[in-house]
Structure 1
Amino acid sequence: MSINRFTLQLDEIKAAYAAEPNPTVAVRLERIGRIEKMLAANEEKICKVLAADFGTRHSIESRLLEFQMVYQACKHVRKHLKEWMKPQLVSTPAFLGSSHAWTQMQSMGVVGIMSPWNYPVQLALVPAIAAFAAGNRVWLKPSERSSRTSGFLATLIQEYFHPIEFCVTVGGTEVAESFAALPFDHLFFTGSSNIGKRVMRAAADHLTPITLELGGKSPAIVDPSAKMNDAAASIIYGKLVNGGQTCIAPDYAIVHSSVSETFIQELQNAAQEQFANPEEFTGAIDENQLARWHQLAKDAVNRGAKAIPLLSPSGNLGLAFMPVALLNVSEDALVMKEEVFGPILPIVTINDLDSIIRYINEGPKPLALYWFGKEKKVMQRILNETRSGGVTINDTLLHAAIEDLPFGGIGGSGMGAYHGRAGFDAFSHRKSVLEVRGFLGLKFLGGTKLARPPYRKGVERLLRWLK
């Protein structure tokens, strides 16, 4: 599709928005309700195309991590939208007398969404729900790497929505580049930092406001006060669910050397307990992803790391890649420089809190951070002295499931946030309004009248009073 065709299509959607720039609560909720109905009516079919894209993906994993997040977002918006849309009064200074000031939320226009392949349903529809809640129209470009799911989702959306409400365009890199260069009223991108930079450059030509949901190397810190089996079980789930292809998966673990052997044993026990069935272990999205996992593990071992299988070979011979923990990993290894995004867990041993904080802060700011332990003072230091998009304490992933918690990164892990009210705000313009009235009912004392030229003693008195 040429850029001219894209531009014409965007003009059509913008024209439709201009005819209805302030949709009612009922209209917004009806659109969101259609997403909910679309998903509910096609769960089984979507599970099948997701499994086809990943090679293996259990339907429960898809229902829990994809569909439930969408249903939760719909329910939350339905409960709170009226309140979010209300104007918010703000106080005014005394010199403005009885003037009134407030902010009111207004829709932006047409929101472009570029969704990724790792959770191709949730990460396409949850931002769309937020955009509809804010009163916008939506144009979605799903990832070509999850081609079956993206194509089927596009078919469903076309069945349930008119393209001037919710438009979908599928395609590869060339289509994505043209899409990112369009003059949207807001562009929302979820994906890697490298692609995020390219999207941001493209959006800059039109000064398009942008939200970037990226990733990074999210640490899991295991304090010696932690219960090792619980910490290991949580880290294994966060690392191996969806085959490790989760933007907030624990990227590496930091442990005290005195508990490292116990921790590794507990990791193996937890992995065997949770993921021994190959049918419940999600596969790599494609051959390129699989080859990258092998490259990361091989590079680390070649540089002196010790690879420890997390699953017993018996019963898992069909796995294309065996999940591993890596010990004694060189800081020059690729696995320590890049986001892993797979079933590989480097383990870093650091024995004092100051060094842990310094180690984390010397790297790019992560999208998530996990801390396990019982020492509240240590926990507070980690929270206060590190920077990350979000934190879960004594578990993994769950902060992203709380609708009232904004979800987003910081620095290299992203900019902007969504989920719940944060999503509504991200796709809204908060307009500031001041209605000027007279001072003490006297119109000649209202607003800027006392400050206007010619500047005489009255203005001097006003300045003294304002001080």
Structure 2
Amino acid sequence: MSSSSTPVEEISKIREALVKGFASGKTKNVQYRKEQLIHLGYLLHENRDRFVETLATDLGRPTLEADFLEINGTISEVQEAYKNVEKWSKPESPPFTLNWFFMRPKIRREPKGVVLIIGPFNFPLWCLLGPLAGAIAAGNTVALKPSEMSSATADLIAELIPKYLDPEVVSVVKGGIPQTSKLIEYPWGHICYTGSQRVAKIIGTAAAQSLTPVTFELGGKSPVIVDKSADLKLAARRILWGKCANAGQICVAPDYLLVLREVEEPFIKELRAVYNSYFGANPAKSDSLSRIISPQHAARIKKLVDETKGNIITGGEVDVDQRYVAPTIVRDVANDDSLMSEEIFGPVLPIIPVDSVDEAIKFINSRDHPLVLYIFAQDRKVKEKVFASTNSGGAVANDVVLHPAAAGLPFGGVGASGSGYTTGKWGFNTFTHFRATLDVPGWLDKIALSHRFPPYTDKKLADLKKVVSYKLPPRPGTHAVTASKRRWGLWTLLALLAAVGALLKKRLGSS
């Protein structure tokens, strides 16, 4: 444990303060939530340069990538929550049904309580403070656990949060395994975790003990299909950018390519041209390439590259001490290759040739559901076929990486790539309890609901069936079946007469 880590024995006090903050009721006030969101926005805006510096320290991230991929996106999440929190928080009426209309059904949107958000090293702002915006907008108090691997950014977050936000609403716990292990011992209103499948299993097991709901964003091996109808120059430019941005340490980065054989050679030619235009003859000296988070992760990627049986056509160099992995393209990769054994999470791009789109679909469907699937094609039918025949958290045609920032779209995984959503209104919903309410007037008992009370009789059963009768559609291949007619007209008339009678009685009694 580093000297700047939160002492494990202090975690219970931090949680107690958040419980007290929630119990005060102040986060139920939407205007108060908006104030906290404004402060969070200014925390990012006023310290933009400092965050650029910490992201460069932690990840070697160029300023353009820090701004475009992380800081701007996080501020956009805060802005969207601020602009929409009043609308998102309003009670909602379910679709009209006559049987329930007079009971005034409503759906109240209420906070889940004290929630825990555990962030990753690769996007230490967007994947931590983005969900925080949704949690604040939903009215929760929040414990934040930034990744200890992005230590400079974690230090800055821990410094700024208490300066900008109410410490009874948001608190930061710094540290590694001991702190995380202690945090997940407690029951929470919700846990949101972004990171690896291995750690997610540990968190999920602990959360199950207290029946705490969880949201997992876990990444995985996201495939890219390059069809014969693709714009190959466009595909090469966008794929290589997405693979090398943040040195490939992006959960939605393209992990491997499935390229139709008939366009493999011209596509590789385009990749080589783009590679040279991006990084030149010596990528190690490029000012447009991030670094791997740690020597340990660099050594892991080096092992994958060293053990590949594919043909390395560009890159391949790794300097573990400097956390440098050259952008690397490997062709003729087999399904059982080292590069296909796990999520690469680095700037290494395996190419697997396939004979058809059908073969590519079969290959994808034989593996875990990815966080996102990409298809480069101009043929509309090909794109639709790929989308309809596969399962993934997201599906994007003719670009990569951008969809988590698209306003209004849910971002999340499916199966092994995660569960739940963390952006925009979908993130707000993650941290919201949808509470069903009814307000049932007494006069309804005078019409039909009195039949539910003992003693039960055949007449009461028959009367109740008239109220709640239904009509199923005909079975496939058969003619329509005539069912009992609903007596909506009588029910409506009786309900309206009872409602008018109750209203008149109330008015006469007050006069």
Q: Same fold (TM over 0.5)?
A: yes
Larger Rg: 2
What is the alpha-carbon distance in structure 2 between the residues aligned to residue 342 and residue 275 of structure 1?
16
Alignment of 1:249-264 (within 5 A): 249-264=253-268
2:218 to 214, 225, 232: 214
What is the alpha-carbon distance in structure 1 between the residues aligned to residue 379 and residue 93 of structure 2?
42
Change (3 A) 1:357 1:8: same
Paired residue for 1:174? 178
Kindly state the Cα deviation for residue 335 of structure 1 after the two structures are TM-superposed: 1.4
TM-superposition CA deviations, 1:307-327 (whole Å, max 9, x none): 11159x9xxxx9932211111
What is the alpha-carbon distance in structure 2 between the residues aligned to residue 442 and residue 154 of structure 1?
56
What is the alpha-carbon distance in structure 1 between the residues aligned to residue 83 and residue 7 of structure 2?
41
Kindly state the Cα deviation for residue 331 of structure 1 after the two structures are TM-superposed: 2.3
Alignment of 1:381-460 (within 5 A): 381-437=385-441, 443-445=445-447, 448-460=449-461
TM-superposition CA deviations, 1:172-194 (whole Å, max 9, x none): 11111112222111110000111
What is the alpha-carbon distance in structure 2 between the residues aligned to residue 270 and residue 427 of structure 1?
42
Using CA pairs under 8 Å that are at least 6 residues apart, name the structure with larger relative contact order, 1 or 2. 1
Scaled by the length of structure 1, what TM-score is found?
A: 0.93
Kindly state the Cα deviation for residue 93 of structure 1 after the two structures are TM-superposed: 4.2
- Aligned partners of 1:96 and 1:436 also within 8 Å: no
Runs (5+) with no aligned partner, structure 2: 1-5, 470-511
Paired residue for 2:476? none
- Aligned partners of 2:41 and 2:79 also within 8 Å: no
Amino acid at match of 1:282: S
TM-superposition CA deviations, 1:416-460 (whole Å, max 9, x none): 01211101100000001112236xx654226x4211221113322
What is the alpha-carbon distance in structure 2 between the residues aligned to residue 322 and residue 267 of structure 1?
15
SS at 1:181's partner residue? coil
Change (3 A) 1:94 1:320: closer
Alignment of 1:293-332 (within 5 A): 293-300=301-308, 304-309=309-314, 320-332=324-336
TM-superposition CA deviations, 1:190-242 (whole Å, max 9, x none): 00111111111111111111100111110111110001010111101111000
Residues 1:246 and 2:250 are matched in the alignment = yes
Alignment of 1:26-425 (within 5 A): 26-54=31-59, 56-91=60-95, 93-96=97-100, 98-276=102-280, 278-300=286-308, 304-309=309-314, 320-425=324-429
Kindly state the Cα deviation for residue 22 of structure 1 after the two structures are TM-superposed: 4.8
SS at 1:400's partner residue? helix
Amino acid at match of 1:457: D
What is the alpha-carbon distance in structure 2 between the residues aligned to residue 401 and residue 204 of structure 1?
31
Amino acid at match of 2:241: Y
- Aligned partners of 2:40 and 2:165 also within 8 Å: no
Q: Percent identity?
A: 34
Runs (5+) with no aligned partner, structure 1: none
Amino acid at match of 1:444: K
What is the alpha-carbon distance in structure 2 between the residues aligned to residue 215 and residue 196 of structure 1?
11
Q: What is the number of equivalent residue pairs in this alignment?
A: 455
- Aligned partners of 1:97 and 1:437 also within 8 Å: no
Kindly state the Cα deviation for residue 87 of structure 1 after the two structures are TM-superposed: 1.1
Between 16-25 and 135-144, report the one with greater CA deviation.
16-25
- Aligned partners of 2:325 and 2:346 also within 8 Å: no
SS at 1:132's partner residue? helix
Change (3 A) 1:147 1:4: closer
State the superposition RMSD in angstroms. Answer: 1.9
SS at 1:234's partner residue? helix
- Aligned partners of 2:260 and 2:357 also within 8 Å: no
SS at 1:120's partner residue? coil
- Aligned partners of 1:229 and 1:263 also within 8 Å: yes
Amino acid at match of 1:445: I
